[in-house]
């Protein structure tokens, strides 16, 4: 398996190279001009042109691409056109809030959605099942920002239990850190809970019809043991797959959630960079997201072997 | 200063130059007492560019006033007042101007502020600023004979000199250490070292999210003068000012309501009624010159390379429609009857205004367009959909052009794409454009010296590139006008010519409120500045 993991990691290099080429080219041909943004609305075209030249933005595609790739090969993601900070520093500044939000959302979502799906399957056709499915439909249908505003209104403005916005670093204490993340994680988790709960229910229903479940019941295994030891383990492969796919959902959702709750994470960094056409930052962040996604897929593939001994690499 | 203050900016500075005796020297004030508390502020946008000279972004100007100081300030009567300058003298019939720096001024790195720092700063600013360019074109020599003396040797008297050095329209002439001010004006500076009342906390900055300023303990406010806009003593009563960038308006509103934030610079029009109902929050309009909407023509290509077509469209403008779309129906928040200078400012007049205020008749506009030679050419209108006020103006503008019978192609995109496309001089059908919408702060249109959209220098003019030699001639005459009366006379002529040539369509003036928690006192007029305000409990 180690050899397999290593092969997969090595295989990420061409994937990342294609992503790099694609991102760079797309940004090159897309409209927008960081020099114009720097110069401001009132600047004359001459001013804009001078700034563009001074930033080297008037150089040919191949020169700029070659330079960027050369730096990437040395582990240098480049420097922001606007802040003059290394892109890696800007990512490092922003990664903690996004990781925190994703981890809490993931724990919250898996912790709630898997039992919900299991119970819904167990109580198929009852009001419990219908309630869980109703919640899942709601979770899919209501946009993250609507849930976010509603939560902020109730729990921050009306009840004054939690802050409306912002982020406190983990180093300043667990509670202040967690306090700022509760509402965003709940808002972001809605879709994710809905997705995992539905898949868990569907897979569990299929597994619960299997012969070995009947055998286990005949042997006198209790309901809890059947659901969580026998059925859930065998239903785990599709559930883990969906959790992995959902990481992409989380990355996309984090952009909206971070804006609604003013969390200084990678999502907002990306949006700001796109609006300003801060090319090095956009390229760096997209490379990071792509790498994360490739890595998550690898981890999921490796997890399959834990749940299904028939799978071997 | 004994000179009529209004004249300084509006043009009477010539009189000041001719007659001003050395002004009274101010006494150095004691360094400030420690401030208290942290002021949390939501700026209008993220501080994308920290160099206030390279950019004309307003948010960078506000950052600039925190970190740097200016030789002259600007008061609520639109006059220049000494700020870092202790005083000045004007000799040799206005051709030699000597400015003396106040004593005890220090940069944040502990170095004293010297005249050569000011000279280098003026030169860098002048390379980027339209008024600065005029000043330098009329300057034979700019020297620093000693550490506290700056001397301008002028080719001819320049009445606008003090107004230019103190003007708050962007870019502002901030004074930086010489080594920083020597940076190429097309390259952003990297060090935020000023002599202003706040020190930049680079280590606490999270770009796009948080900017922090700390009170500069060694700042010496003026001992004299009246606090007004950027003029007068700058006394700091808070230890820190934190800018929290919250791009989402609803979140910003909630944060202010919940007391997590003290001051929100620009509450959106739709949320202002909600905030007004909250007894803990105050809203006020800080800048009486407001913001002026414009529809800018591309003068290089048909159909708007034809002045008769541009003139005909004046008859279709209903400024009230544009302003209602931008800021709502509350008449106290906008004005129509806005010509080429903002209403309520010294150069505003009613010359030619009937073109905008007479009854609207779209059938007549259609006839006028046909008579002017409009043959159904495509009008490519570029609109920024991510900028609510600009999008609102563009939507009303499209409706106006369609009603006038024009063949409109409406391209809705983001602001970043608009700023790139508007730089294209290609024909509209080949990736160029015909018209876009924007707004300018009233301060940036207050006179012909600062109003970029009134320039007629063709390929070198602001986007749209109008060639209007008569306007340029009048602008030069305005610089030479000796007093306010003479300036107003030239301004009336400029407005008359502008209504004939129509560099752009004026769309009205609106006023942006600012919102802050009750308990904050001393919120400045003009734009966000953080001195003289206090945070109560």
B54 to A39: CB separation less than 8 angstroms, yes or no: yes
Amino acid A257: pLDDT: 94
Amino acid B526: pLDDT: 92
Q: How confident is the model at residue B388 (pLDDT cuts 50, 70, 90)?
A: confident
Average pLDDT over residues A87-115: 94
Residue of B nearest to A52 (CA): B186
Amino acid B281: pLDDT: 97
Amino acid B100: pLDDT: 98
Amino acid B387: pLDDT: 85
Does this model's pTM top 0.90? My answer is no
In a domain, A79, yes or no: no
Nearest to B38 by CA among B193, B215, B207: B215
* Residues contacting B226, CB < 8 A, separation 6+: B75, B232
The separation between CA A269 and the C-alpha centre of its own chain, rounded to angstroms, equals 14
Q: Do A69 and A206 belong together in one domain?
A: no
Q: Do A113 and A221 belong together in one domain?
A: yes
| B251 touches A at CB < 8 Å | yes
Average pLDDT over residues B155-175: 95
Cβ-in-10-Å burial (0-12, 13-18, 19+) of B334 comes to buried
Amino acid B11: pLDDT: 37
Residue of A nearest to B45 (CA): A272
B462 to A46: CB separation less than 8 angstroms, yes or no: no
Which of A28, A30, A34, A40 should we substitute to test contact with B (largest number of B Cβ atoms within 10 Å)?
Answer: A40
B452 to A42: CB separation less than 8 angstroms, yes or no: yes
The DSSP secondary structure of B190-201, one letter per residue, reads ------SSEEE-
Phi (first) and psi of residue A79, to 5 degrees = -125, 140
Distance CA(B514)–CA(B272), nearest Å, equals 9
B444 to A43: CB separation less than 8 angstroms, yes or no: no
Q: Do A48 and A105 belong together in one domain?
A: no
Average pLDDT over residues B275-291: 95
Nearest-by-Cβ selection for B419 from A37, A259, A260? A37
B478 and B491 in contact (C-beta within 8 Å)?
Answer: yes
CB-CB neighbors (< 8 A) of A187 in chain B = none
Amino acid A230: pLDDT: 86
Amino acid A47: pLDDT: 85
Percent above pLDDT 90 for chain A: 54
In a domain, A228, yes or no: yes
Structure tokens at B493: 């002529």
In a domain, A80, yes or no: no
Q: Do A171 and A207 belong together in one domain?
A: yes
Q: How confident is the model at residue B26 (pLDDT cuts 50, 70, 90)?
A: very low
A261 and A186 in contact (C-beta within 8 Å)?
Answer: no
Q: Is the pLDDT of residue A312 over 80?
A: no
What's the angle, vertex CA B35, arms to CA B32 and CA B36, rounded to 5?
170
In a domain, A85, yes or no: no
pLDDT in tens, B101-116: 999 999 999 999 999 9
Residue of A nearest to B457 (CA): A44
Amino acid B537: pLDDT: 59
Amino acid A58: pLDDT: 87
Q: How confident is the model at residue A33 (pLDDT cuts 50, 70, 90)?
A: confident
Q: Is the pLDDT of residue B442 over 80?
A: yes
Amino acid A140: pLDDT: 85
B215 vs chain A: nearest CA distance in angstroms? 23
Q: Do A116 and A199 belong together in one domain?
A: yes
What's the angle, vertex CA A141, arms to CA A135 and CA A146, rounded to 5?
100
Q: Is the pLDDT of residue A101 over 90?
A: yes
pLDDT in tens, B233-253: 999 999 999 999 998 999 999
Q: How many domains does chain A have?
A: 2
Nearest-by-Cβ selection for A262 from B246, B413, B420? B246
In a domain, A186, yes or no: yes
Residue where the block lists tokens 């409306």: A164
pLDDT in tens, B345-360: 999 999 999 999 999 9
Asked, as a colleague might, if the bond just before B336 is cis with ω within 30 of 0, I would say: no
The DSSP letter of residue A185 is H
B509 and B442 in contact (C-beta within 8 Å)?
Answer: yes
* Helix (H), strand (E) at residue B324: helix B319-327
Average pLDDT over residues B258-262: 96
Q: Is the pLDDT of residue B34 over 80?
A: no
B106 and B112 in contact (C-beta within 8 Å)?
Answer: yes
pLDDT in tens, A261-283: 999 999 999 999 988 889 999 99
CATH no. for residue A228?
Answer: 1.10.3720.10
Amino acid B36: pLDDT: 61
Q: Would you put residue B83 in left (φ > 0), alpha (ψ -120 to 50) or beta?
A: alpha
Q: Do A61 and A174 belong together in one domain?
A: no
A32 to B54: CB separation less than 8 angstroms, yes or no: no
Which residues form the domain of A64? 2-73
Q: Do A102 and A224 belong together in one domain?
A: yes
Terminal CA-CA length for chain B: 38
| B413 touches A at CB < 8 Å | yes
| B260 touches A at CB < 8 Å | yes
Nearest to B514 by CA among B344, B266, B334, B297: B266
A193 and A138 in contact (C-beta within 8 Å)?
Answer: no
In a domain, A82, yes or no: no
pLDDT in tens, A207-240: 999 999 999 989 898 888 898 888 898 888 889 8
A234 and A250 in contact (C-beta within 8 Å)?
Answer: no
Amino acid B24: pLDDT: 37
CB-CB neighbors (< 8 A) of A166 in chain B = 244, 255, 260
Average pLDDT over residues B364-383: 97
Nearest-by-Cβ selection for B417 from A32, A46, A80? A32
Distance CA(B191)–CA(B185), nearest Å, equals 14
Nearest-by-Cβ selection for A275 from B185, B416, B444? B416
Average pLDDT over residues B383-406: 94
CB-CB neighbors (< 8 A) of A156 in chain B = 254, 258
In a domain, A81, yes or no: no
Amino acid A109: pLDDT: 93
Which of B55, B249, B262, B453 should we substitute to test contact with A (largest number of A Cβ atoms within 10 Å)?
Answer: B55
Supply the mean pLDDT for chain B: 91
B419 to A41: CB separation less than 8 angstroms, yes or no: yes
Edge to edge, the sheet with strand B281-284 lists B198-200, B210-215, B240-244, B38-42, B263-264, B514-517, B281-284
Residue of A nearest to B210 (CA): A264
Distance CA(B192)–CA(B183), nearest Å, equals 13
Amino acid B482: pLDDT: 86
Asked, as a colleague might, if the bond just before B441 is cis with ω within 30 of 0, I would say: no
Q: How confident is the model at residue B195 (pLDDT cuts 50, 70, 90)?
A: very high
Q: Do A146 and A263 belong together in one domain?
A: yes
Which of B271, B419, B451, B463 should we substitute to test contact with A (largest number of A Cβ atoms within 10 Å)?
Answer: B419
Domains assigned to chain B? 5-246+514-535 (3.40.190.10), 291-510 (3.10.105.10)
Q: How confident is the model at residue B22 (pLDDT cuts 50, 70, 90)?
A: very low
Q: Do A21 and A137 belong together in one domain?
A: no
In a domain, A154, yes or no: yes
Cα–Cα distances (Å) from B77 to B80, B284, B345, in that order, read: 9, 19, 9
Q: Do A176 and A218 belong together in one domain?
A: yes
Q: Do A31 and A121 belong together in one domain?
A: no
pLDDT in tens, B315-370: 999 999 999 999 999 999 999 999 999 999 999 999 999 999 999 999 999 999 99
CB-CB neighbors (< 8 A) of A280 in chain B = none
A33 to B184: CB separation less than 8 angstroms, yes or no: no
Percent above pLDDT 90 for chain B: 86
B451 and B444 in contact (C-beta within 8 Å)?
Answer: yes
CB-CB neighbors (< 8 A) of B247 in chain A = 259, 262, 268
Final residue belonging to a domain, choices A43, A73, A103: A73
ipTM: 0.85
Q: Is the pLDDT of residue B1 over 70?
A: no
Amino acid B43: pLDDT: 96
Pairing verdict, β B407-413 and B378-384 = parallel
Distance CA(B286)–CA(B181), nearest Å, equals 31
Q: How confident is the model at residue B12 (pLDDT cuts 50, 70, 90)?
A: very low
Q: Do A185 and A95 belong together in one domain?
A: yes
């Amino acid at each position: 398996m180690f050899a397999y993991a290593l092969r997969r990691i090595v295989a990420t290099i061409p994937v990342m190279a294609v992503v790099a080429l694609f991102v760079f080219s797309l940004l090159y041909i897309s409209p927008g001009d960081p020099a114009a943004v720097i110069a401001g609305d009132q600047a004359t075209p001459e001013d804009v042109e001078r700034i563009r030249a001074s930033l080297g933005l008037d150089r040919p595609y191949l020169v700029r691409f070659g330079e960027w790739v050369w730096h990437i090969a040395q582990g240098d993601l480049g420097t922001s056109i606007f802040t003059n900070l290394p892109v890696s520093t800007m990512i490092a500044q922003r990664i903690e809030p996004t990781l925190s939000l994703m981890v809490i959302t993931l724990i919250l979502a898996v912790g709630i959605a898997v039992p919900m799906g299991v119970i819904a399957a167990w109580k198929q056709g009852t009001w419990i099942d219908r309630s869980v499915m109703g919640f899942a439909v709601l979770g899919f249908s209501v946009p993250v920002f609507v849930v976010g505003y509603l939560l902020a209104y109730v729990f921050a403005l009306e009840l004054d239990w939690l802050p409306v916005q912002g982020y406190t670093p983990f180093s300043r204490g667990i509670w202040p850190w967690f306090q700022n993340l509760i509402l965003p994680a709940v808002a972001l988790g809605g879709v994710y809970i809905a997705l995992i709960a539905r898949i868990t229910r569907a897979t569990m229903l299929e597994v619960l019809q299997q012969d070995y479940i009947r055998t286990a019941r005949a042997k006198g295994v209790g309901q809890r043991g059947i659901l969580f030891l026998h059925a859930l383990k065998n239903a785990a492969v599709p559930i883990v797959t969906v959790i992995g796919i959902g990481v992409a959902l989380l990355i996309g959702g984090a952009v909206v959630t971070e804006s609604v709750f003013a969390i200084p994470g990678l999502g907002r960094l990306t949006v700001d960079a796109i609006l300003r056409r801060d090319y090095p930052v956009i390229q760096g962040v997209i490379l990071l997201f792509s790498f994360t996604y490739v890595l998550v897929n690898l981890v999921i593939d490796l997890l399959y072997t834990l749940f299904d001994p028939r799978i071997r690499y | 200063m004994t000179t009529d203050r209004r004249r300084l900016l509006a043009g009477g500075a010539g009189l000041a130059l001719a007659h001003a005796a050395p002004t009274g020297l101010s006494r150095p004030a004691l360094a400030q007492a420690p401030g208290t508390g942290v002021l949390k502020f939501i700026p209008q946008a993220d501080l994308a560019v920290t160099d206030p000279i390279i950019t004309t972004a307003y948010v960078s100007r506000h950052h600039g006033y925190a970190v740097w100081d200016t030789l002259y300030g600007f008061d609520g009567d639109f006059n220049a007042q000494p700020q870092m300058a202790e005083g000045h003298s004007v000799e040799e019939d206005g051709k030699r101007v000597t400015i003396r720096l106040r004593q005890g001024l220090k940069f944040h790195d502990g170095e004293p502020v010297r005249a050569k720092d000011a000279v280098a700063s003026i030169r860098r600013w002048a390379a980027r600023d339209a008024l600065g360019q005029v000043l330098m074109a009329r300057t034979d020599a700019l020297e620093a004979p000693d550490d506290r003396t700056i001397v301008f040797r002028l080719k001819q008297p320049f009445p606008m000199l003090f107004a230019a050095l103190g003007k708050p329209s962007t870019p502002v002439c901030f004074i930086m250490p010489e080594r920083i001010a020597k940076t190429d004006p097309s390259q952003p500076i990297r060090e935020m070292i000023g002599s202003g009342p706040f020190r930049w906390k680079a280590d606490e900055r999270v770009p796009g999210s948080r900017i922090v300023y700390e009170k500069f303990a060694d700042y010496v406010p003026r001992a004299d003068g009246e606090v007004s806009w950027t003029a007068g003593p700058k006394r700091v009563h808070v230890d820190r000012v934190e800018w929290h960038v919250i791009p989402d308006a609803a979140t910003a509103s909630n944060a202010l309501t919940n007391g997590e934030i003290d001051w929100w610079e620009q509450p959106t029009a739709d949320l202002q009624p909600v905030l007004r109902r909250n007894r803990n929050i105050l809203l006020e309009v800080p800048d009486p010159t407001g913001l002026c909407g414009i529809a800018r023509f591309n003068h290089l290509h048909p159909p708007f390379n034809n002045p008769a077509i541009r003139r005909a469209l004046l008859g279709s403008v209903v400024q009230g429609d544009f302003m209602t779309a931008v800021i709502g129906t509350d008449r106290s928040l906008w004005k129509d009857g806005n010509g080429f200078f903002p209403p309520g400012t010294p150069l505003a007049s009613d010359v030619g205004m009937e073109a905008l205020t007479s009854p609207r008749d779209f059938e007549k506009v259609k006839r006028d367009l046909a008579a002017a030679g409009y043959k159904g050419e495509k009008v490519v209108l570029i609109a920024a959909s991510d900028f609510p006020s600009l999008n609102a103006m563009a939507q009303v503008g499209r409706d106006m052009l369609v009603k006038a019978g024009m063949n409109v192609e409406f391209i809705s995109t983001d602001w970043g794409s608009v700023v790139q496309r508007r730089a294209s001089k290609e024909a509209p059908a080949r990736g160029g454009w015909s018209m876009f919408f924007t707004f300018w702060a009233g301060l940036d249109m207050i006179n012909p010296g600062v109003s970029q959209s009134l320039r007629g220098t063709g390929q070198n003019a602001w986007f749209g590139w109008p060639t209007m030699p008569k306007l340029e001639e009048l602008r030069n005459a305005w610089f030479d006008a000796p007093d306010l009366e003479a300036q107003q006379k030239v301004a009336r002529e400029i407005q008359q010519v502008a209504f004939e040539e129509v560099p752009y369509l004026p769309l009205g003036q609106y006023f942006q409120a600012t919102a802050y928690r009750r308990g904050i006192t001393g919120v400045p007029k003009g734009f966000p500045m953080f001195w003289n305000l206090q945070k109560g409990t």
